Structure 1
Amino acid sequence: MLILLTSLVLAAIGLTLGGLGGWLVTLGGSWYYLIVGLAFLGTAWLLLRRRAEALWLYSAILVGSILWAVWEVGFDWWQLGARGGVIVLLGIWLWMPWIRNRLGQGRLGGGVILAVANVLAIIVAVYSMFQDPQDIAGSLNTDVVAATPNLGADFDDGDWQQYGRTPYGQRYSPLDQITTENVANLAPAWTYQTGDVKLPEDVGETTYQVTPIKIDDTLYICTPHNLAIALDARTGTEKWRFDANSGLNPDRQHQTCRGVTYWADPAAAAGSACATRVYLPTADARLIALDATTGQVCASFADAGTLHLEAGMKYSPAGYYYSTSPPVAVDGKLIIGGAVNDNYSTQEQSGVIRAFDALTGELVWNWDSGNPQDTTPIDIAGGETYTTNSPNSWSVFAVDAALGLVYVPLGNQVPDQIGIGRSANVEKYSSSIVALDIASGRDVWVQQFVHHDLWDMDVPAQPVLLDINGPDGAPVPALVGPTKQGDIYVLDRRTGAPLLAMTEEPAPQGAIEGDFTAATQPTSALSFKPEPLEEKDMWGITLFDQLMCRIALHQHRYEGRYTPPSLQGSIVYPGNFGTFNWGSVAVDPERQVMFGMPTYLAFTSRLVPAAEIPPKGQGEKGSEQGLNRNDGAPYGVFMGPFLGPLGIPCQAPGWGFVAGADLRTGEIAYKHRNGTVRDMTPLPLPFKVGVPGIGGPMITRGGVVFLGAAVDNFLRAYDLTTGNQLWETRLPAGGQSTPMTYSVDGKQYVVIVAGGHGSIGTKPGDYVLAYTLDDDTSG
C-alpha cells in the first residue's frame, strides 16, 4: 500500500509540474519544471513496478534540482528552500527502509546513491542557512566631518520642535546619553493611550503615522481622527486634548495625521492667550489654531480659529481633499499643501501650495503648478479658482530660512497611470521637488525625478537638508531627496543642480494609444533601485506556487523599471509603496552620512477601459489595491501587490532592508535584511527574511538609529556605523510612524507611536510609548 500511495503522490506531482511546466515553456520560460515533471512520472512508474531504478532516477532529480537551484540563486536559503523542500522530503521518504527494501534487484546501489544525494541536499541546505548573498557588510566613516554642523534651527538640544526635529528634516538629535554601548539597557518609561482606535466603519487606509513634537516640557501629537493632545514629557500624563470633530467619510482615501505644527508669536506677551500655538490639520480639509498651553481654539485666527482649505477649488467633492501632513511655519507664515485622492476622478481639487499669515490666517500667496507664474492670492470671493487636478504635495516640506526657500515634494495629477492630455506645466512639475521663495511663493528651481510619470512615482518624502563638504573641503548647502523608485538625489539646494551625478538612462517604450513614454528617465549615482526582476527571482512557499509566479511573470508585461501600464497588465517594480516613502531617510550632519529603509515589493497594474468599469456604487473608487475608477478618464486601473496563489509576494525575499550610505561619495556602506515574518504568518515565526515596512528612522549623536516601520511590530535600535541591530522591543501595535527623542531633567527619552497601518494590515492601536535608560546606565 505504501508503494502504491507513494507512486500516486509522485505521479500527481509529475502531472502538475509537467503540465504547468509545459505552459511555462510555451511562454518562453524555464524547461526545468517540464523535465522534472516527466522525471517524477518516470519515478512513479518505476516505483509502481517495484524497480530499483526508481531510486537512481529520483537521485538524478534531487542532484539535478540542487545544481539547478544553486546555479539560479546561489546559496540563498530562502530561495533554495522553496525550490528543494518538497523534493528533499520525498528523497528522504524514498530512502526509508519501508520503501527501499520493497524494491527489486539493485536496491542496495540505488539506496546508496539516494543516500549520497540526500546528504548533499542537507549539506547545501545547512551551508546556505549561514550565507546571505543579498547582504552588504561594511562600515560608514566614523570621522566628524563637520564639528559644528548646521542643524537648521537654534533651540535646546533636548527639544524636537518640528516633524523632522528642525526645518531641515534631518531626523537627527544632538543628544548622546543613549549610546551604542548602553542602548540595550533601554526600558519602558511611560505609556499613554489616546483612546482614538480604528472603527469598523473606518476606511481601510486608517493609519497612525504621527511623529510627536516636543517643546520645553510638553509633547504634542495628533491622532488619525484628528484629536490634538498635549502630554507631559516627564510622565506621559495628558495636559489637554482637542477634538476637531472631523467625522467619518467613506470617500476619504486616507484617515491619518502625521503631525502638528508649533509656532510662537514673536510679538505676543509671554503667557498671553495664543502666544504659542499648535496648528492641527484635519481629514475634512481644515487647519485649526490652538493655544499650545491650554488647547483652546485661537478664535482670532482665520474663521473663528479655522482655515477652510477647500476654498478656491472649482470642484470640491467631500472626502477627496485633506491635509495629512503638518504645514511648515517660517517667517510668520504657514505653508501647506494637501492630499488629493489618488485615481478617484479627474475633477478633483487643486494641488495648490499656499502660504497663510500664521497670526491671522490671511492668504499671503498661492503657488499653483497649473498657473505657476502668478502667485498673487486669487480672488476667492470674486469666484476665482485654482487649477483643477494639478500635481499636489501630500508630504512634508523642508525649509532653509537663511536662503529664503521652502522645498516642496510634488506628486502627479489624476490619473497616475494615464498621461493623455497633460499640460506643459503638469509635465514640468510632476514628480519633482520645487524650491519656492518664502516671501513671494515664486518657484526658484525645479528638479524632476520622473519624466511623464505613469507609475504613481510621486516624490513621497520630506527633503532632507544639510551641508556637505565639497572636494575643496568647503561646506555646500545640499538637499537629499529620497524617491519611490529607489534613487536618492543629492542636490545643491540653492540651485537644484546635482552634487552626486544625475544621469539619464533609456526607458521602456510602448504606451497605450494616445499616450507616450519618455525616452529616458533620470537616475542618481546614489541609488537603491532594484535589479530588474527575472524568472529566477520568483518565489513561493513551495515549488508549485513558485512555478505559478513564474507563469504570472511571463503573463504580465515587464521590461524593467518604468514598464508602461497596459491593458495586458504590467509589473511595476519598485511598486506603489516605493523603495522609500513618506518616512524619508535620516542623516548625521556631523559625519555626513545617511540611514534609510529601502523596501522592495512589486505591484501590478492593468488598465481597464472606462466602458468596462461598473457604475458608481458597484465598484471601488480608488486604492492601492483593487479597482481605481479614474472617473472622467478613458481608463481605470486595477492594481495591487504582485502576489502568488497563497497571497505571499511572488518575488523572493528580502523585501525590506536597513542601509547606510556616505552622502559625499554616494557609496553604499552596508545593507542588511530587516524584520521578521512573525506578524505575517499564522504562527509567530521569528525568521529574519527582511520584511516590508513604512515609516522612517531617527539618528542620535550617540551613534544609534531608531526605527519601527517593519510589519513585525518591533521598535529596533541599530549601530549607525555598521547597521547591526543592537536592541529591540515588542510593540503592542504596528509601529508605522517615525520615532523621535528628547530630554527633560537631564534624562533622554525615545518615543514612538504604535497604532498600525491600514494598507499593510498591521495591528491597530492607540499607543504612545516612551523608553529611557534605567538609572544605573543613564550616566
Structure 2
Amino acid sequence: MRKFSLILTRTISIAWLLSACQQEASRSYDKWETYRGSKEAAQYSGLSQITRENVHLLEPAWEFHTGDNGPRTPMECNPIVVGNTMYVTSPKLDLIALHAGSGEQLWRFSSSSFNEGSGVNRGVTYFDDGADGRIFMPAGPYLFAVNAKNGALVAEFGQKGKIDLRENLGTDPAKLSISLSTPGILFGELLIIGSATGEGYNASPGHVRAYHARTGELAWIFHTIPQEGDFGHDTWEWMEGENYGGTNNWGGMSLDEEKGWVFVATGSPTYDFYGGNRLGENLFGNCVIALDARTGERQWHYQAVTHDVWDFDLPCAPTLVTIPVEGKQVKALVQPTKMGELILLDRYSGKPLLQVEERPVPASYVPGERTHPTQKFNQGIRLVPQGMDSTYLTDISEEANAYARNEIKKYRNEGMYTPPSIEGTLTMPATRGGSLWGGISYDPVHNRIYANVNELAMILQLKAVAPTSESNDEVVSGYHTYMLNCSNCHGADRKGLAEAYPSLLGVEGRHSKEEIRRIIRGGKGVMPAFTQFDNRQLDSLVSFVIDGKIPPGKATEQAAVVDKYVMAGFRLFLDEEGFPASKPPWGSLNAIDLNTLKVDWKVPLGDYPALVERGITGKGTQNFGGCVATAGGLVFVGGSADEMFRAFDTATGEVLWSYKLPAGGYAVPAIYEVDGRQFVVIAAGGANRIGTPSGDSFVAFALP
C-alpha cells in the first residue's frame, strides 16, 4: 500500500509540475503589446478566461468607429494594448488611442497633414522610453514617433517627429516610392524596419534598416539587393541602365532577444512575373535571413525560391518555435509560404530540419527570360496541393466542373513551377497563397501550430511592352509608364479585377484629372503612392488612364523588339459564375503537431453566401488575415468572405462560436485583459481583395 501511495504521490507531483510549467509558459504570453502578440511572432494568448465551455456566451463588449471609411480602403490593423490603452490605425491612416476596456477614444493623431492619400497599415510599435512611451506609426513615405500618452509628435525624433523612408537607400529619394505596411520590431533601443516598395519595373529597393529609437538616426542597413562587393552580388547578371527593386521585407520580422538575432523574410525582386532584366539566382530574394540585430550583419540565409517569376514572396515573419529532433529540443523557426508549405529551419544555422528535394522544373519560352533550371520541393509541412490536373477541379456542380475541364486545356500547366507564358500558365497555389501576411499561430504549451490558408489557382499570362526609352511623345510615355507600373493590378486592358482592383474604364466620370493625379501621387487603399513620377510623366500617365490611347505599332505581342513583359491582368482561375475553379476547400484552417510534424485536422474556413443560399456549404472561401490560439483551447479567426468571426476548438476543429461582423475581419485579432476581464478584438475593415464592402470599426468581445 505504501509503495502504491508513493507511486500515486509521484504521479500527482509530475502532473502538478507539468501543469505548473504549462501555466508558466502561458503567463509569458498574457499581454498583447507587440504586433502579432510577441516578438517571436507566436500569435498566441496565454489568457484562459474564455474557454471551450463558455465561448458560446461571448458577446460584443464595445465597438469603435474610426469615422473615415472609404471605398476599397482596407483596415488590417492588429491592435496592441499597453496597460489599459489600445492603439489602432484607421483606413485613412490616423493613429488612435482607445481605452481598451470601453473603446472610448483618448486621443487621435492624423498623418494626413504630412501624407496625402492612404494605404495599408497592419499595426504599430510601442517603445518604452522611460517617460510617456512612444508609438512608431508608418504612413505613406514617413515613419512617425508619437507620444503614447497624448498623441503629440516627439519633436526630438528624426525631422520634428518623423523620418522619410525614401532616404538612406543609396538612390535619389525623389525617384523612390516606398512605405511600410507592417510595423517594425524593437531590439533594445534599435527599431528595425522593412518596407513596401511596389511591384512594377520602377520599384524601390527593399533594403532592411535599423534606426535609433530615440533620435531617428540610421544605425545600420542590410542590402537585400547586394551591392558591389557584398555577398550575393554575383548571383545577379547586372544590366546597365536597369532599375533593381523589391526583394523587400513587407510582412514583418521576428526576434530572438536572447541571441540578439532578427529574422527577416523577403519577397521577390521586381518585376514580379518576368525576370529577363534580372537574370541569375537573385539573392536575397525569397529568403529567410538571420541578421545580427545590433549590426545588421548576415548570419545565414535560406532561399526558398530561386529567380522568382511567380510572386512567391515569403509573406510574413517566421515564427520562432522549439521542435524535438532525434530526442533533443531544437530551437527552430517556421516560415509560412505562398506555396502552401511550412518551412522548418534550425534557428541558429539556417539548415532545413526536413529533407528538401531539388528538382528540375519547366523552362520559360518567353523571349529574354531564363528561369532557374531547378526549384526546391518538399521544403516542409505541406498544407495545400501543389500543381493542378483534371482530378483537382471544382465539384460544386457538374456544370462548373465541365466548364473548368474546358478552361484548363487552354493554358500551359506542367506543375507548380511552370513559368508565366504568353499563352497563359495555370499555377497552383498562386500569389494568393497558401499562407499570406496574417501568418500562423503557435501554441508553445502544446507545441502546435494553427494556420489558415488559401487553395486557389491563378492564370499568369504575359504581354509584351515595346521599348520606348525616354520618348517625349505623351502617348508613348503614358502607355509605357502605365504598363511598367500599373498593369500588374489594373490589367493591360485597364479592366482591373472587380473584387480587388477597380476598372479604369470610364474613370473620367468618377474622378477629375486632379483627383486622379492626387490618387497616383498619394496612393489609395492597397494601391501604393507613386511619388517618383515627374510632372511630365504624371500628366502622360493620367492621359493614358483616362483614354487608353495606345501608340500605333507599339503595344502588340508582334512588336519587332521587346524589352519588357507585364502581366496581361490579375486573373484567378474561376468557374463561369466567378467561384474558384479548383476543388474545395478554397480556404481552410489547419492544426499541425510539431512533435509529430503531422496535420492533426483540417477544416473549411468560411462559406460563400451565394452558395449557402443554394444549400452548398463547407467549401471554404478565399481568406485574408490571421488566426490566434489561446490557452482556453480556442482558435479565433476572421478573414473569410462571409464576414464571420469564428472560434474553433483547438482539439477538433469544431466551430464553437461565430459572429457576423459589420464588415469583413481581414486582420489578425488581438487578445488582452483589462481589470480581470478577457477581451478579443478584431478590425472589421472589409474591402481588401475579396469584394466585400469596406468598414471602419474595431469590435471587442467578452463574456457577459
User: Where on the TM-score scale, by shorter chain, does this alignment land: which range?
Assistant: 0.7 to 0.9
1:187 is displaced (CA, Å) by: 1.0
Separation of aligned partners in 2, 1:147 and 1:519:
52
Deviation at 1:454, TM superposition (A): 1.0
The partner residue of 1:257 within 102, 121, 135 is 121
TM-superposed deviation, 1:622 = 4.0
Q: Name which of 723, 729, 739 aligns with 2:653.
A: 723
Q: Distance in 1 between matches of 2:388 and 2:17?
A: 39
Alignment pair present for 1:298 and 2:154: yes
**Is this contact kept in 2: 1:145–1:592, CA < 8 A?**
no
Structure 2: distance between partners of 1:395 and 1:628: 30
Give the structure 2 partner of residue 4 of structure 1.
none
Q: Does 1:222 align with 2:89?
A: yes
Alpha-carbon shift at residue 664 of structure 1 (Å): 3.0
Q: Tell me the equivalent position of 2:183.
A: 326
Match of residue 555 from structure 2: none
- Tell me which moved more, 636-645 or 665-674: 636-645
Q: Is the 8 A contact 2:32 2:672 kept in 1?
A: yes
- The equivalent of 1:653 in structure 2 is 584
What residue in structure 1 maps to residue 104 of structure 2? Answer: 237
Q: Which amino acid aligns with 1:162?
A: T
- SS of residue matched to 2:592: strand
| Kept after mapping to 2: 8 A contact 1:163/1:213 | yes
Instruction: Tell me, yes or no, if the aligned pair for 2:27 and 2:47 is still in contact at 8 Å.
Output: no
Q: Distance in 2 between matches of 1:699 and 1:661?
A: 12
Deviations 1:699-756 (A, max 9, x none): 1111111000111101100111111111101100011001110011111111111011
Picking from 428, 431, 439, the partner of 1:573 is: 428
Alignment of 1:504-653 (within 5 A): 504-522=358-376, 523-539=378-394, 543-611=398-466, 615=476, 617=478, 621-624=486-489, 626-627=491-492, 634-638=564-568, 639-653=570-584
Aligned residue among 143, 154, 160 for 1:287: 143
Q: For residues 437-470 of structure 1, give each alpha carbon's deviation from its aligned partner in whole angstroms, at most 9, with x where no partner exists.
A: 1111011110111122110001001211122333
Change beyond 3 A, Cα 1:637–1:316? farther
In structure 1, the residue matched to 2:344 is 490
The 2-side partners of 1:753 and 1:559 are apart by 40
- Classify 1:328/1:260 alpha carbon distance in 2 versus 1 (closer, same or farther; 3 Å): same
Matched, 1:466 2:396: no
CA distance in 1, matches of 2:404, 2:643: 28
Matches within 5 A, 1:121-520: 148=21, 158-199=30-71, 204=72, 206-245=73-112, 255-265=119-129, 268=130, 272=131, 275-282=132-139, 284-313=140-169, 314=171, 316=173, 320-342=177-199, 344-345=200-201, 347-371=202-226, 388-422=244-278, 427-472=282-327, 474-520=328-374
Q: Deviations over 1:665-702 (max 9, x none)?
A: 32111111121111x56959773321110110001111
TM-score of the superposed pair, with normalisation by structure 2? 0.80
CA-to-aligned-CA distance 1:368-400 (integer Å, 9 cap, x gap): 12236889xxxxxxxxxx984151111111011
Paired residue type of 2:309 = L
Structure 1 745/671 Cα, relative in aligned 2: closer, same or farther at 3 Å? same
Q: Deviations over 1:135-171 (max 9, x none)?
A: xxxxxxx99989647999x987542011111100101
Instruction: Tell me the amino acid that sits aligned with residue 79 of structure 2.
Output: P
Match of 1:48 in 2: none
TM-score (norm 1): 0.72
Secondary structure (helix, strand or coil) at the match of 2:312 reads: coil
Tell me, in whole angstroms, the C-alpha distance in 1 between the residues paired with 2:669 and 2:159. Answer: 34
In structure 2, what is the Cα distance between the partners aligned to 1:612 and 1:681? 46
Q: Is the 8 A contact 1:628 1:637 kept in 2?
A: no
Q: Give the Cα separation in 1 of the matches to 2:227 and 2:263.
A: 15
Contact 1:525 1:666 in 2 (8 A): no
1:628 and 1:694 map into 2 onto residues whose CA distance is 27
- Give the superposition deviation at 1:196: 2.1
Larger mean Cα displacement after TM superposition, 623-632 or 302-311: 623-632
Q: Counterpart of 1:552 in 2: which secondary structure?
A: helix
- What residue identity is the alignment partner of 1:164? R
**Tell me, which stretches of 5 or more residues in structure 1 are unaligned?**
1-141, 376-385, 775-779
Aligned positions of 1:680-719 closer than 5 A: 687-719=617-649
Q: Deviations over 1:554-580 (max 9, x none)?
A: 111011111111111101211211110
What's the secondary structure of 2:308's corresponding residue?
coil
Q: In 2, are the aligned partners of 1:490 and 1:663 still within 8 Å (CA)? A: no
Shift of the 557–750 alpha-carbon distance from structure 1 to 2, 3 Å rule, reads same
Which region of structure 1 is more displaced relative to structure 2, 458-467 or 295-304? 458-467
- What residue in structure 2 maps to residue 39 of structure 1? none
Q: Which is bigger in relative contact order (C-alpha 8 A, separation at least 6)?
A: 2
- How many residue pairs align between the two structures? 601
Question: Is the partner of 1:245 in helix, strand or coil?
Answer: coil
Distance 1:155 1:189 in 2: 24
Aligned counterparts of 2:638 and 2:611: Cα–Cα separation in 1:
19
Instruction: Out of 308-317 and 349-358, give the one that drifted further.
Output: 308-317
3-state SS in 2 of match to 1:649: coil
Greater Rg over alpha carbons, structure:
1
The secondary structure found in structure 2 opposite 1:735 is coil
Secondary structure of 2:321's counterpart equals strand
- 3-state SS in 2 of match to 1:339: coil
Structure 1 contact 576–624 (Cα < 8 Å) conserved:
no
Q: For 1:215-248, what per-residue CA distance to the aligned partner results, in whole angstroms no more than 9, with x for missing partners?
A: 1111111123210011101101011110001688
Equivalent pairs: percent with the same residue?
Answer: 32
Most deviating of 682-691 and 143-152? 143-152
Indicate if the aligned counterparts of 1:415 and 1:633 stay in contact, CA closer than 8 A: no
